[in-house]
Amino acid sequence: MKELFKSKPRTPVDIVRQTRDILIFADQSSTSLSDSKREEKMAELGKNIRELKSILYGNSESEPVSEACAQLTQEFFRENTLRILIFCLPQLNLGARKDATQIVANLQSQQVNSRLIASDYLEKNTDLLDILIAGYENTDMALHYGVMLRECIRHQTVARYVLESPNVKKLFDYIQLPYFHISADAAATFKVKHDWQRY
């Protein structure tokens, strides 16, 4: 009898969709939710983000499964989950931010039908790169956005956009900030961008 009521395991697509729904819900109702309801939603969101990371990176018990990674990646970019996650990153707790940063970094190298769909997506959504660059201005978020930006600019077309963007000058300003961790991170990002410039 127990078997009848067992819930079937969630697919990578289900987890991405639920994560996106909670991000949208948390963002839109941040002021109208009671503290306990918001805490409950954020805990569920953190659990989903950990699950997404586990699918992409594997865990102590299993390696990542390429089909699951491809499904997750495709769904992540289909409905702008990347955009929503980047916008909502400051609302996440530190653990969820770290996991989300690793997810975004990993997605840059995931292939679907032999294509890096992250590169195609970012080419059509270059404003996200401007948001990541401007992230250096927020001392709490700078390192998270810096990691994401470095992984994104490994795509040649994305690096070209950043090189030609007026925001590229901001990287020089960030390198000179008095906060060592931020200036060092901005310098590391500039080095990745500079390496592309040679090609």
Range name among 27-31, 55-59, 132-136, 172-176 with the lowest pLDDT average: 27-31
In CATH, 10-123 is 3.40.50.150: no
Q: What's the pTM value of the predicted model, to 2 decimals?
A: 0.85
Q: What is the mean pLDDT of the segment spanning 115-135? A: 94
In tens, the pLDDT along 121-130 reads: 999 999 999 9
Check residue 70 and give its pLDDT: 96
Q: What is the mean pLDDT of the segment spanning 152-162? A: 89
More confident residue, 162 or 108: 108
Percent of the chain past pLDDT 90, that is, above it, reads 58
More confident residue, 174 or 148: 148
More confident residue, 195 or 133: 133
SS3 content of the chain, % helix, strand, coil (to 5): 75, 0, 25
Whose tokens are 């949208």? That residue is 24
Q: Provide the residue ranges of all domains of the chain, joining segments of one domain with +.
A: 10-123, 126-199
Round to whole Å and give the CA distance between 50 and 96.
Answer: 7
In this prediction, residue 198 has a pLDDT band, given cuts at 50, 70 and 90, of very low
Check residue 34 and give its pLDDT: 72
Check residue 89 and give its pLDDT: 94
Round to whole Å and give the CA distance between 157 and 187.
Answer: 21
Rounded to 10°, the helix 94-107/66-78 angle is: 100
In this prediction, residue 149 has a pLDDT band, given cuts at 50, 70 and 90, of very high
| Average pLDDT over all residues of the chain | 86
Q: What is the mean pLDDT of the segment spanning 96-101? A: 96
